[in-house]
């Protein structure tokens, strides 16, 4: 890193924390009043894996009172006192991150900013609304809220709404675009060999693409041993994240991939899914929410791994 303190602007001299959820990694900083000027360039340099700390995303822990969006959420959710200010690795602002919100709660807990015992829940304000996160024996589970089709009834009727091209595929494949508070496009492949053969260093092309771009998930079904007592589905997934590139995991992507696969499977498809990503395994469950809409619950591990001071 440069010896010039101005290189890191207002981040110079601050203690930053590195954490991850199933390999999807983030840089965290506590800035309760949102006073640090997090420019896209500064965030991108901090997340650079060669010249910075290296991460898929950057998360500021701020009080909800420090932003207009957070203040508005507090009107309905007075317990959502912490706001997850999430940025992609390229510095762009993102609505939500499923792995990120679990890791965010672990950061708040390990920093002593909240107390959360196993079985207890905490409400977190995000740009995609308030998320309720529970601490479990294995990590954290978060109600991600309802899922929806980005392109509406056209997707519901046909089971697909776009064509996706990617390096490693000879021809474009049909995809289904789903919102989890942020946009996703899911593509089912016929074999694990095709999944492994993808080059996701380059961004897949989606036509038509959601207005603000999209994350793209490629999936294949996985056979599970079933003793008849439970009905659980399983898929393998790789993802190219908007503004980041390929990542080892994507929480909202796992939810969207499970939702699309379940939709394609019809009425007999299960409500519980295991999503195997390069960084581990996430559990996705579909439940009826308090608003009478179908919600998605995402569960998996999260942990902090190091602290860093930028010079």
Annotated active-site positions, please? 97, 250
Identify the H or E element spanning 237: strand 232-241
SS3 6: helix
For residues 185 and 206, is the Cβ–Cβ distance under 8 A? yes
Tokens coding 137: 């024996």
Q: Residue 188's beta-bridge partner residues?
A: 219
> How far is Cα 246 from Cα 250, in angstroms, rounded to an integer?
9
Give the count of beta carbons closer than 10 Å to the beta carbon of residue 113. 14
Classify residue 239 by burial, with Cβ atoms within 10 Å: 0-12, 13-18, 19+.
buried
Rounding to the nearest 10 degrees, give the CA dihedral for residues 231, 235, 241, 245: 150
Question: Residue for token digits 């959820």?
Answer: 21
Question: Which of 42, 31, 20 has the alpha carbon at shortest distance from 310?
Answer: 42
> How far is Cα 85 from Cα 126, in angstroms, rounded to an integer?
7
SS3 229: coil
> How far is Cα 58 from Cα 70, in angstroms, rounded to an integer?
18
Classify residue 289 by burial, with Cβ atoms within 10 Å: 0-12, 13-18, 19+.
middle
Q: Residue 83's beta-bridge partner residues?
A: 62, 125
């Amino acid at each position: 890193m440069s010896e010039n303190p101005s290189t890191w602007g207002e981040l110079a001299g601050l203690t930053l924390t590195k954490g991850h959820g199933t390999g999807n990694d983030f840089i965290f900083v506590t800035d309760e009043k949102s006073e640090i000027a997090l420019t896209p360039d500064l965030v991108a340099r901090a997340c650079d894996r060669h010249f910075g700390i290296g991460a898929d995303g950057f998360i500021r822990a701020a009080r909800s009172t420090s932003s207009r969006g957070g203040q508005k959420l507090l009107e309905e959710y007075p317990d959502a006192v912490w706001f997850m200010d999430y940025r992609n690795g390229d510095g762009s602002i993102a609505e939500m991150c499923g792995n990120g919100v679990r890791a965010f709660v672990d950061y708040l807990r390990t920093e002593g900013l909240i107390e959360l015992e196993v079985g207890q829940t905490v409400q977190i304000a995000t740009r995609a609304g308030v998320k309720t996160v529970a601490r479990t024996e294995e990590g954290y589970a978060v109600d991600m809220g309802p899922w929806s089709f980005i392109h509406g009834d056209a997707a519901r009727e046909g089971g697909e709404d776009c064509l996706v091209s990617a390096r490693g595929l000879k021809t474009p494949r049909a995809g289904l675009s789903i919102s989890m508070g942020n946009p996703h496009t899911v593509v089912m492949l016929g074999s694990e060999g095709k999944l492994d053969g993808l080059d996701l260093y380059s961004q897949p092309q989606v036509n038509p693409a959601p207005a603000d771009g999209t994350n793209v998930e490629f999936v294949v079904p996985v056979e599970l041993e079933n003793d008849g007592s439970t009905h659980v589905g399983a898929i393998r997934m790789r993802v190219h994240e908007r503004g980041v590139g390929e990542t080892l995991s994507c929480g909202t992507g796992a939810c969207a991939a499970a939702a699309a696969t379940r939709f394609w499977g019809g009425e007999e498809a299960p409500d519980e899914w295991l999503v195997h990503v390069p960084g581990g395994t996430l559990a996705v469950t579909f439940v009826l929410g308090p608003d009478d809409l179908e919600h998605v619950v995402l569960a998996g591990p999260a942990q902090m791994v190091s602290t860093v001071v930028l010079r």
